[in-house]
Amino acid sequence: MTVTIEKLDNNEVKLNIEIEPSVTQWEYDKACKRLAQRVNVPGFRQGKAPKLILEKYVGIAALQREVLESLLPTIFESTIEENNFDIIIAPNVESYEFADDKSLKVVAKLELKPEVNLCEYKGMEVEVEEFKNADDAIDKELKALQERYSTLNDITDRKSTNTDLVNIDFDGYVDGEEIKGGSAKGYLLDLAHSNFIPGFAEQLVDKATGEEFKINVKFPDEYHDEKLKGKDAEFNIKINAIKEKVLPEINDEFAKKINSKFETLDLLKEDIQKYLDNSAKNENEKRTAEKIYDTLFEKINIEIQETMINREIQALMGEFKQRVNMQGGNFDKMLEQEGHQKIYDQMKEEAVKRIKTSLIIGKIAQTEKINVTQEDIQAKIGGLAQVYRTTADNIVAEIQKNPNILQQLNQQVISEKVTKLLLDNAKVKFISK
C-alpha cells in the first residue's frame, strides 16, 4: 500500500492511496462473508449464498463500499498520526477505483486547521473601561427586594389607578376578525409596568370592578406580526378585580424576612455590597478578557478557509432559527424583513470571530500544555446538575447518550483556563468613562 501526500491551498491535503490486489481481494472476500450474514438471499440459508450469487443480489458496488469502510479508517488514522495532521472534519473520499486486477485507488482530502502563529500573549498591556457600581446601587437592590416581597390587596372601594394591578378578561379584533392569541381570561396586568401595545394599559385606569367596556389601540408599525403592523384594533375588556401593591417597610424585620441570617438591615446591606463588589469584579474581568482577545485578533493573522467559515455560519443560522422559533417568531419572514444578505454578513462576522477565538485558545492551550482533568469535568457536571436541578448521575447519563456534551464541556474548561492565564498575566490599566 502507498499513500502519496499532496499539499493544496486553503489548508487542504490530498491523499492518493493505492492498495495492492492481494489486500483488496482479501477484504473483498471478507466483505462478502459479512454481507452474506446480514442479507437474506432467496433459496439460500443465512450466510451460505455463493459470492457470484451475492454479487448479483446486493450488487458489486455495495460490496466495494463495504471494502472501503473496512480499509480506509485505519489508513486515514495512521496517515494523520504519522504526519501530525490536525484535521477539522472527517476525511472526504473524492473518488475511488477498483481496477480489473483487483487493486484499489482512492483519492481523499483532509481539511486541516489553519496555522496559528502566536504573538506574545503574556504580559499584554490593555486599557479597559472600568465598570463601577452606581452610588445608589444598594438602594436599588433593596428596592428590587422590596418589590419581590410585596403583597397584593384587593380593592373594592375605589376605581383603578395607574399603579394598580387589574385582573381582566379581554379579546381583540382587527378588521372584524379575532386576533390570534389576542384573548385571555383572568389575566393579571400591572398597569405601571405593562408590556402590552401602547395605549392598552392606559385605558384601563379609572375603571371599576365588574365594569365592561371597549378600548381602541393601534399596533406599532414595527410590530413583529406582519398582519398586525400599523393596524387599528378593538378590545373588549372586563375588570374582574383591582389589586393594590403593598410594599414592605425596609427595616430589620424586612432583612430577617429575606433570610434569617440577617438579624439587622445593616447585615443585609453588607451582603448586598459583597454581591455588588463581586458582580463588578466579574464584569471587569469580562471586559478585560474581551479587550485581550480583541488585541490578539488584531495582532494574529489567521487564514481561515471559506469551507470552515460556511460550516460555522450554518451552525449560527441553526441556533438563530431555533431562538426565533422558540420566541414565537417566523424565521423565514424575519429573513425577508431583515434581508438575507444583511443576516448573512452579520453571521459571517460572528463566525470568523468564533473560529479565530477557538483557534487562538487551542494554540495557547497546546503551547502551555493546558489539559482537562477528571476533576474539571466532575466540577462542570456538578454545576450542570445545580442549574437543571437534577443529580450528577442524570447528567452523566445524558452525556453517555450524547457525547457532544462532553466535547463541549472540555472546550469550556480549556477556554476558561486559557482566559485565566491571559488575565493573570495581563497588565491592565482601568480607565473611567
pLDDT of residue 384: 92
pLDDT of residue 102: 78
Print pLDDT tens along the chain (433 aa). Answer: 899 999 998 899 999 999 999 999 898 888 888 877 777 777 777 767 777 787 787 888 888 888 999 999 999 999 999 999 999 999 999 999 988 777 899 999 999 999 999 999 999 999 999 999 999 999 999 999 999 999 999 999 999 999 999 999 999 999 999 998 899 999 999 999 999 999 999 999 999 999 999 999 999 998 878 789 899 999 999 999 999 999 999 999 999 999 999 999 999 999 999 999 999 999 999 999 999 999 999 999 999 999 999 999 999 988 888 888 877 777 777 777 777 888 888 899 999 999 999 999 999 999 999 999 999 999 999 999 999 999 999 999 999 999 889 999 999 999 999 999 999 999 999 998 7
Where do the structural domains in the chain lie, given as residue ranges? 2-111, 151-246, 263-431
pLDDT of residue 305: 93
Among candidate residues 234, 167, 169, 166, the one with its CA nearest the CA of residue 197: 234
Determine whether domain 151-246 maps to CATH 3.30.1280.10.
Answer: no
- DSSP class per residue in 326-373: HTT--HHHHHHHH-HHHHHHHHHHHHHHHHHHHHHHHHHHHHHT----
Contact partners, residue 296, CB within 8 Å, separation at least 6: 119, 121, 124, 360
**How far is the C-alpha of 78 from the C-alpha of 81, rounded, in Å?**
5
52 class by beta-carbon count within 10 Å (0-12 exposed, 13-18 middle, 19+ buried)? exposed
179, 173 Cβ separation under 8 angstroms: yes
Q: Count each helix (H run) and each strand (E run) in the chain, helices first.
A: 12, 11
Fold of the 263-431 domain:
Trigger factor, domain 2 (1.10.3120)
The predicted model scores a pTM of 0.75
Annotate 375-389 with b (16+ C-beta within 10 A) or e (fewer). Answer: ebbeebbeebbeeee
pLDDT of residue 31: 85
**Architecture (CATH level 2) of domain 2-111:** 2-Layer Sandwich (3.30)
Annotate 198-210 with b (16+ C-beta within 10 A) or e (fewer). Answer: eebbeebeebebe
294, 126 Cβ separation under 8 angstroms: no
**How far is the C-alpha of 378 from the C-alpha of 396, rounded, in Å?**
10
- Parallel, antiparallel, or unpaired for β 125-129 and 427-431? parallel
Distance of CA 215 to the CA centre of its chain: 41
Contact partners, residue 134, CB within 8 Å, separation at least 6: 140
- Which amino acid would we find at residue 422? L
